[in-house]
Amino acid sequence: KQLTGNELRKMFLDFFASKDHLIQPSSSLIPENDPTLLLIGAGMAPFKPFFTGKMKPPHPRISTSQKCVRTGDIENVGRTARHHTFFEMLGNFSFGDYFKKEAISWAWEFLTEYLELPKDKLWITIHTSDDEAFDIWHNLIKIPAERIIRMEENFWEIGPGPCGPCSEIHIDLGEERGCGKPDCMVGCDCDRYLEIWNLVFTQFDRDEAGNYTPLAKKNIDTGAGLERIASVLQNKRSNFETDLLYPIIEYTAKLARVTYGQSDKIDVSLKVIADHGRSMTVMIGDGVLPSNEGRGYVLRRILRRAVRHGRLLGIEKPFLTEIVDIAANILAEAYPDINDKKVYIKKVIQLEEERFHATLAQGIELLNKHVQELAQAGKKVFDGAMAFKLYDTFGFPWELTEEILNEHTMSLDKQGFDQAMAEQRERARAARQDSEERVVIPDLSGLVTESLHANPDAESAKVVLILK
């Protein structure tokens, strides 16, 4: 079935509404009352207290399309067809209400009857010990046993909290999409067997120490990637070619005067910009501001990485605010608040982007020169002190330095970097004690100054000040 991303999202929610689910809007990316999480990375995350029984849900069945950010997937962006930092997770949840039979039957009904996906291309994985799930898939849904694979890793958890065995639905996209290795099968990390939906049978609560306590009531938590299913329905080779992301790629390609689909290197940069452009839009819309710590650092890293990939494409001027316009346009149907906040989002991005541009070229020059010197001396490890200088003076997140080094098959002395950072913190603390109540006024020229290290949040504070 041919559907737009917006139609697919709506169809999913309508489907579960028809199964007596309460449709709730997405929660903010910033978790509420959950210090174990930096950013929401799954549809179930905002519902943890409902699963554990700490709070009573407004309805025993809920369905959402949840904004998610997974920083852990940042290096995968553009290298696989299916990973984003920001994506939307479609989910249906049962809090002590229905369990495996309904969850499996409805997922199957939605995929094969509503979306009309070909039944014989769908593969199922279950937890090694889960005979109950096998029985439902095999005897009720009539999936041949050879397409139900038992796997030890089918146990889902995200930090401490509710978790349990899971069953995942994959679609075989054909041999030509695979890695070609003889042992390539479901679960292979290549793009042939695309994982589209994870059904988690939430039965345990894991504590910080790693103990698993059975929950009083059994629950269902499912997560399906909107962009992935859209790519299948729209018959595209990757999420990036769906209507949820492609307009950004088109715009950037035009701006950089490059063509999508001609070189892997160019495509990776175009994909990174499209992905990161969406992430920064939603993150700032939800109240994250660039800083040197926590989620602010995630945002800063994502934004600076996008700028660098812009430069790899030959874009030397700030361009990210236009990307926000396109991303917001696409996302506004589902998350209308993004439109209301667009002016604010763009202002934050403009400031951070300009500030980074001011020093980026110099930093890259310095880095390249040092790489060359090391190469001539036959060295393969980039010293931590120099990486710290790049961070400190030129605003390079260390991950960015590391990534550039990887392209030169060099590695980074991370320990040395951490040590230089610790020394700097110590100096800053001493300086602060010197001048007790000194008011810190961040340097507006765009250079990272001593005062910012004394107070990393000063930068965010500055943004807020300027916006006021």
Which of 34, 157, 191, 195 touches ligand ATP by CB under 6 A?
195
- Looking at the DSSP bridge assignments, the partners of residue 206 are 161, 212
Span near ligand ATP by CB under 6 A; candidates 25-33, 196-204, 249-257, 398-406? 196-204
Work out how close the CB of 249 gets to Mg ion at its nearest, in angstroms, rounded to a whole number: 23
* 403 vs 421: CA distance, rounded Å: 19
The DSSP 8-state label assigned to residue 26 in this structure reads P
Instruction: Look at residue 227 and give the partner it binds from ligand ATP, Mg ion, none, a contact being a CB closer than 5 to 8 Å depending on partner kind.
Output: ligand ATP
Q: Show the binding pattern over residues 221-250: x = contacts ligand ATP (CB under 6 A), - = does not.
A: --xxx-xx----------------------
Span near ligand ATP by CB under 6 A; candidates 194-202, 282-290, 366-374, 445-453? 194-202
Residue 95 to residues 20, 98, 103, Cα–Cα distance (Å):
13, 8, 12
Instruction: Look at residue 83 and give the partner it binds from ligand ATP, Mg ion, none, a contact being a CB closer than 5 to 8 Å depending on partner kind.
Output: ligand ATP
Work out how close the CB of 130 gets to Mg ion at its nearest, in angstroms, rounded to a whole number: 15
The DSSP 8-state label assigned to residue 167 in this structure reads E
* 88 vs 9: CA distance, rounded Å: 9
Tokens of 59: 């309805």
* 48 vs 372: CA distance, rounded Å: 51
Residue 90 or 284 having the CB closest to ligand ATP: 90
Cβ atoms of 356 and 304 within 8 Å: the answer is yes
Residues composing the chain: 468
Residue 160 or 416 having the CB closest to ligand ATP: 160
Residue 45 or 349 having the CB closest to ligand ATP: 45
Q: Which residues contact 370 (CB under 8 A, 6 or more apart)?
A: 382, 386
Q: Per CB under 6 A, does 73 bind ligand ATP?
A: yes
Instruction: Look at residue 197 and give the partner it binds from ligand ATP, Mg ion, none, a contact being a CB closer than 5 to 8 Å depending on partner kind.
Output: ligand ATP
Q: Show the binding pattern over residues 75-104: x = contacts ligand ATP (CB under 6 A), - = does not.
A: -------xxx--x-x---------------
Work out how close the CB of 393 gets to ligand ATP at its nearest, in angstroms, rounded to a whole number: 33
Cβ atoms of 360 and 393 within 8 Å: the answer is no
* 85 vs 352: CA distance, rounded Å: 19
The amino acid present at 111, given as its one-letter code, is L
Cβ atoms of 468 and 458 within 8 Å: the answer is no
Q: Per CB under 6 A, does 60 bind ligand ATP?
A: no
Which of 65, 85, 94, 198 touches Mg ion by CB under 5 A?
198
* 278 vs 100: CA distance, rounded Å: 34
| Interaction site with Mg ion (CB under 5 A) | 195, 198
Residue ranges binding ligand ATP (CB under 6 A): 70, 73, 82-84, 87, 89, 195-198, 223-225, 227-228
